[in-house]
Amino acid sequence: MDECPREAWGQSRDWFSSRKSRTGPSLASVLNDLPSAATLRYRGPGVLPWGTHEDEDGARNLPALAETAQMESQPPRELPWPMQARREHRKSQAREQVASGSGSKAAQWTRQLSRTKGKMKEGFQTIQPWTWTLKKIGGQFGAGTESYFSLLRFLLFLNLVASVIEVCMKLIPAWVEGAPPGPPSPNISSPCGFYTPHTQGLVTFPTQLFNLLSGEGFLEWSPLFYGFYPPRSILAVTYLCSVFVIGLIYLLFILHRSVSGLKETLLAESEVLTSYSHRVFSAWNFGLCGEAHVRLRQRVILHDLQVELEEAVIRRRAAEQTLGQRAKVWSLRAVLNLLILALLGAAFYGIFWATGFTVTLQETSFVQQSPILKLLVDYLPSIFISVFNLVLPPVFKFIASLEGYTRSRQIVLILLRTMFLRLASLVLLLLSLWNQITCGGNMEAEGCKACGYNYRELPCWETRLGQEMYKLVIFDLLMGLLVMLLVQFPRKILCGLCPGALGRLAGTLEFQVPDEVLGLIYAQTVVWVGSFFCPLLPLINTAKFLILFCLKKITLFSIYSPASGTFRASMANLFFPLVLLLGLAISAVPVLYSIFLIPPSKLCGPFQGKLSIWDHIPESIESLPQIAQNFLYFLGTQAFAVPLLILSCILMVYSVALANSYGRLISELKRQIETEVKNKVFLAQRAVALSSANGGAI
């Protein structure tokens, strides 16, 4: 009886061996041939892969060693190692190269330079302020809210740099040749009238306070405004050159931020990385240490997945709409856009009317006798602008929610409409001031014929323009504080104390990223316009942004709750710098127009007696040595401009050709990825077929 089962087992074993010879490789062998299996079996440098054993004589398995060597031949970044093992492997490779003397001196210098650059970048990131605060905000409130605070920190840095340049190129040169003279005497008159910036007689404390808010009185003749700086040659050159230096620095930093944001946006919006698998399998940072960092990273991934799911639902609903439903949606959008245009037109008319009516009210005796009324009249354009900027953005948000777009598209539309409102209101204010300065563009008018500007109403028009920008900055800060103290805190308290219908009516406060971001860009645009006429305005804006960062951080964690709808961080990284660039371009127009076309004031400022502010530069060049003059004049000739244009065209064509070659390479790599996916699908299908065949045979 013992032999029969043994014979039966032997027959079955022969059957299995014959079955294996007929069907080819087994399921295990097919799976072991997959590239991912080698990665799974790999355990680290100098260790045999999983599933391999040493031979009986203690020798190692040669195929296993070959597999380990093949894995270690890959770049350290692609190896499945912890960070410490990667560093040790990189150091060992560097020691081997130094010991063997391999590699040229140029290659060693290149590696050393890249290593130094990486260390400098890491050091710069470590000294950046509020890094942990931004990570905490991003983990709790999403990447959109984090992008607002990141933009605020960036603008704070820009204003700090601009403040240092303003002090070095304007404030210090004003005292190099001695203390600046005092204000002009009221008894001295000229064909362009007279200018008395100081209030005569005893000034009360309320008047001093109002002067502090309006920039008049003791502040009007101070380093804060253009009229204080004396007409000195060195000061005039540095004063004018500082405008172009600061503008170039602004442009370079914003372009750098825009390019880095563009890379992230193109990668996130392209179809190379699928939305879900990339975040599930590749978004985790294995270098995190500490439970707090881990939780924050989990929240960031959660917010990203929420964005993808929300937009996928909206896109699916839009794809399921019929033709009639789509026509209904487009008709609704057309009506809502007409309503938005009507609201914007009403706002612009109100700002233009307030700016023109301010001049009429300032001339009345009733207003001049009351300091409070005078302050209100001075702030009338700022009040209108701030009220419209406070009321209309929530209306835009409500209208955008009715249009049926995705969350990211809604954010873009709200940003565009609010940006148009804020920047266009500022442009209207500047146009109304230009109308007052140039007598409506008619230089032959009675008020502008003698001096080229309206010297009767605006004897020092640069200071007046600087005062308007100063009032906008101060009033914007005061409005933010009042809204925070009188609206947001009481609303949060009411929502917490009244859990019933009144509490639900108050609602939960959410941090509105579009409104807050456009507020920052509007404030920065005002500073860019006014920094030429109010040199210390970047310093004031630095203090304002510092206060704003602290207050917004406190209110964010104590008042606001995480937003019910999120949006892509990649959109914020690209769109916000582009809006900043637009604000910079808009602010450059009035400044350059004032420099080149409007005659400077004859009674104040460093450019007195010139036909235009720019005329001082050619006069200063003529005082230089002949070699310097020839060089500078050569830069403005066609002999320099034409080769520069040709070189720029060649570089542009080269960049376009390089981009096209990279595009073709990316397309080829995409095709290779698709081919690899098809190969893996084929192998998986083959494995399933073998498994089912073996199972059926058994």
Condensed to tens digits (0 to 9), the pLDDT of residues 243-262 reads 999 999 999 998 888 776 66
* Of the candidate ranges 137-141, 252-256, 540-544, the one whose mean pLDDT is the lowest: 137-141
Digit-coded pLDDT (tens) for 414-455: 878 888 888 888 888 888 888 888 877 777 777 777 788 888
**DSSP letter at 566?**
-
DSSP string across 187-243: T--BTTB----SPPS---HHHHHHHHHHT-GGGTTSTTSGGGS---HHHHHHHHHHH
The reply to whether the predicted model has a pTM over 0.85 is no
CA distance 367 to 377: 8
Q: What is the pLDDT of residues 10-68, one digit of tens each?
A: 444 444 344 444 444 555 555 555 555 555 555 555 555 555 554 444 444 555 555 55
Task: Give the pLDDT score at 69.
Answer: 55
Rounded to an integer, what distance in angstroms lies between the CA atom of residue 517 and that of residue 416? 11
Tell me if 148 sits within 8 A of 534, measured CB to CB.
Answer: no
Residue 646 banded pLDDT, cuts 50, 70, 90: very high
503 or 573: which leads in pLDDT: 573
State residue 404's pLDDT score. 74
Closest CA relative to residue 592, chosen from 517, 529, 634 = 529
287 close to 184: Cβ distance less than 8 angstroms: no
pLDDT value of residue 8: 38
Confidence category of residue 83, pLDDT binned at 50, 70, 90:
low
CB 391 within 8 A of CB 513: no
**Residue 507 burial class via C-beta count within 10 angstroms: exposed 0-12, middle 13-18, buried 19 and up:** exposed
Asked if residue 517 lies in contact with residue 151, where contact means CB atoms within 8 angstroms, the answer is yes
User: Of 62, 67, 76, whose CA–CA distance to 34 is shortest?
Assistant: 67
Determine the Cα–Cα distance for residues 497 and 695; give it in Å rounded to an integer.
67
Alpha helices in 24-82 (DSSP H): 27-32, 35-41, 62-72
Point out the least confidently predicted range of 157-161, 190-194, 468-472, 500-504.
500-504
Residue 286 DSSP class? T
Alpha helices, DSSP H only, in 270-290? 275-281
Confidence of residue 492 (pLDDT cuts 50, 70, 90): confident
pLDDT at residue number 159: 93
What is the DSSP secondary-structure string of 581-624? HHHHHHHHHHHHHHHHTSPPPSSSSTTTT-SSGGGHHHHHHHTS
Mean pLDDT for the chain overall: 75
Nearest Cα residue to 530 out of 579, 591, 479 = 591
H or E stretch at 24 = none
Which pLDDT value is given to residue 187? Answer: 61
Share of the chain above pLDDT 70, in %: 72
d(CA 517, CA 64) in angstroms, rounded, equals: 57
Mean pLDDT value across residues 484-510: 69
Rounded distance between C-alpha atoms, residue 466 and residue 474, angstroms: 12
207-216, 458-467, 491-500: which is most confident: 458-467
pLDDT at residue 274, rounded to an integer: 52
The structure tokens 């295990």 sit at 28
pLDDT digits (tens, 9 = 90+) for 390-420: 888 888 888 888 887 777 777 778 878 888 8
Distance, C-alpha 433 to centroid of its chain: 30
Highest mean pLDDT among 386-395, 505-514, 532-541: 532-541
| Coil, helix or strand at residue 141 | helix
Q: How far apart are CA 417 and CA 49, in angstroms?
A: 60
Contact 411, 571 (CB under 8 A): yes
pLDDT reading at 603 higher than 70: yes
Q: Report the pLDDT value the prediction gives residue 41, as an integer from 0 to 100.
A: 55
Question: pLDDT value at position 19?
Answer: 43
Which tokens go with 657?
Answer: 């050709």
Q: Is the pLDDT of residue 512 over 80?
A: no
Most confident of 107-116, 273-282, 413-422, 554-563: 413-422
Using an 8 Å Cβ cutoff, are 467 and 226 in contact? Answer: no
pLDDT value of residue 399? 85
Task: Give the pLDDT confidence score for residue 246 in this predicted structure.
Answer: 92
Residue 164: band (very low, low, confident or very high) from pLDDT cuts 50, 70, 90: very high
Q: Which two tokens stand for residue 595?
A: 């420099």
Q: What is the pLDDT of residue 537?
A: 92
Residue 538: pLDDT over 90 = yes
Which one has a higher pLDDT value, 294 or 172?
A: 172
Q: Regarding predicted confidence, which is higher, 72 or 462?
A: 462
CB 545 within 8 A of CB 155: yes
Give buried/exposed letters for 154-169 (b at 16+ CB in 10 A, else e).
bbbebbebbbebbbeb
Task: Please state, as a whole number, how many other Cβ atoms lie within 10 Å of the Cβ of residue 64.
Answer: 18
* Beta partners for residue 190, in sequence order: 193
The pLDDT score that the predictor gives to residue 10 is 42
Pick from 121, 242, 294: nearest CA to 538: 242
